[in-house]
């Protein structure tokens, strides 16, 4: 060490502990040496790296990236997911329109089909079957959480702070009557909406066994549905070893993001906005 620790030297010379300069310089020597008693000292040596301006610039841009990054940048996961949802919704809309036109030309087009995905244009539809595994995962998670409790308040409080992505929800009551009866696996939960994957054809109409149900094109296609939580009541069925139990999820009280819901303390409010 060829540095002269002038500041330290001056400070230590004020101390009554040290009598002469030799002692101080000896202490400082051991303090800043690589082999001395004090070791928590990071010594850096210059390496033969590239010191070019180009390298320097790339580091700067990497630091600045989050600020400069466009919020529409496709590299963001959030944007990618958003575009996944919007693209699929658009695809479904387009398909209904195309199929309607095709049905005008050929009314028997869909009659002999078991599955609408056999059609070439419907290949890229989101399929409900792919998400059953997600539902299975969620069921395991829920069984773990609920355990064997049989006490209503603990059961429902645990459920209210648990994750709902992966659960199978059914809309049992909604001010938007088109949504009533929709049943599907929740793909994503946002503050105001559930994004569900709905099976093809299967819907509330299956319960009407007396007549053969007719499905609209939208129902035959299935796929993604975005369902608002507001003024909607969902039903959730849980299966334990020997019995099953159903819960009602009141959408109006769930209008918070799921990450906040986990830690949130809920409160009772006026029930003006809840329908009986």
Partner 1 sequence: MICDVNVLWPQEDYGSSVTASQLSEVKNRLAVLEELGYTHVALNFRIRQGQRLPAQVNPIDLSSFAEFKDRLKLFSRVTLIVEDASQMQTVAKLQNAFDLVAVEPRTEKALTSCIVNMEVDLISLDMANRLPCYLKHKTICSATEKGVYFEIKYSDLVDTSSSTRATAISNIKQLFRASRLRGLVCSSGAKSARCLRNYSDVANMLVLLGLDHNRSQQVFKDWPLKALLAGRLRIKSYKQVVAISGDENLIDNSLEGKNKQDATPYRHPKRRKEDKLSSM
Size of the site for partner 1 (CB under 8 A): 35
CB of 221 to partner 1, least distance (A): 23
Per CB under 8 A, does 77 bind partner 1?
no
Residues 123-158 as b or e (16 or more Cβ within 10 Å = b): eebbbbeebeebbeebeeebeeebeeeeeeeebeee
272 binds partner 1 (CB under 8 A): yes
69 part of the interface to partner 1, by CB under 8 A: no
* CB burial string 7-43: b at 16+ within 10 A, e below: eeeeebeeeeeeeeeeebbebbeeeeeeeeeeeeeee
Q: Which are the contacts of 232, defined by CB distance < 8 A and separation ≥ 6? A: 171, 173, 174, 175, 176, 179, 251, 252
Our CB check for partner 1 shows the closer of 83 and 157 to be 157
Q: Is 165 helix (H, G, I), strand (E, B) or coil?
A: coil
Q: How far is the CB of 141 from partner 1 (least distance, A)?
A: 16
**Considering beta carbons, is residue 218 or 235 the nearer one to partner 1?**
235
Q: Which of the residues 118 through 157 are near partner 1 (CB under 8 A)?
A: 150-153, 155-157
User: Least separation, in Å, of the C-beta of 51 and partner 1?
Assistant: 60
List the interface residues with partner 1, window 93-112 (CB under 8 A): none
Q: In the window 217-246, what residues touch partner 1 (CB under 8 A)?
A: 235-236, 239-240, 242-246
In whole angstroms, how close is the CB of 143 to partner 1 at the nearest point? 14
Quick check: 32 and 41 in contact, CB under 8 A? yes
Q: Nearer Cβ to partner 1, position 133 or 273?
A: 273
Distance separating alpha carbons of residues 171 and 275, to the nearest angstrom: 14
List residues binding partner 1 (CB under 8 A).
Answer: 150-153, 155-157, 159-160, 206, 209, 235-236, 239-240, 242-250, 253-254, 266-272, 274, 276
């Amino acid at each position: 060490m060829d540095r002269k620790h002038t500041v330290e030297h001056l400070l230590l010379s004020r101390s009554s502990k040290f009598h002469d300069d030799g002692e101080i310089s000896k202490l400082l020597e051991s303090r800043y040496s690589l082999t001395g008693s004090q070791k928590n000292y990071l010594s850096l040596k210059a390496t033969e790296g590239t010191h070019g301006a180009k390298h320097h610039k790339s580091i700067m841009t990497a630091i600045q990236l989050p600020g400069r990054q466009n919020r529409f940048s496709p590299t963001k996961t959030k944007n990618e997911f958003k575009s996944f949802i919007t693209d699929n919704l658009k695809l479904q809309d387009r398909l209904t329109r195309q199929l309607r036109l095709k049905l005008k030309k050929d009314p028997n087009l869909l009659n002999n089909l078991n599955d609408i995905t056999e059609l070439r244009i419907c290949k890229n539809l989101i399929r409900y079957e792919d998400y059953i595994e997600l539902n299975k995962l969620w069921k395991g998670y829920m069984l773990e959480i609920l355990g064997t409790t049989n006490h209503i308040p603990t059961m429902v409080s645990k459920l209210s702070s648990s994750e709902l992505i992966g659960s199978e929800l059914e809309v049992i009551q909604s001010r938007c009557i088109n949504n009533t009866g929709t049943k599907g696996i929740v793909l994503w939960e946002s503050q105001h909406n559930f994004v569900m994957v709905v099976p093809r054809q299967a819907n509330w109409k299956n319960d009407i066994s007396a007549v053969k149900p007719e499905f609209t094109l939208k129902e035959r296609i299935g796929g993604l549905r975005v369902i608002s939580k507001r003024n909607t009541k969902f039903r959730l069925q849980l299966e334990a070893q020997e019995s099953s139990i159903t819960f009602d999820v009141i959408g109006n009280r769930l209008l918070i993001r799921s990450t906040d819901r986990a830690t949130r303390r809920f409160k009772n409010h006026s029930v003006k906005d809840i329908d009986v």
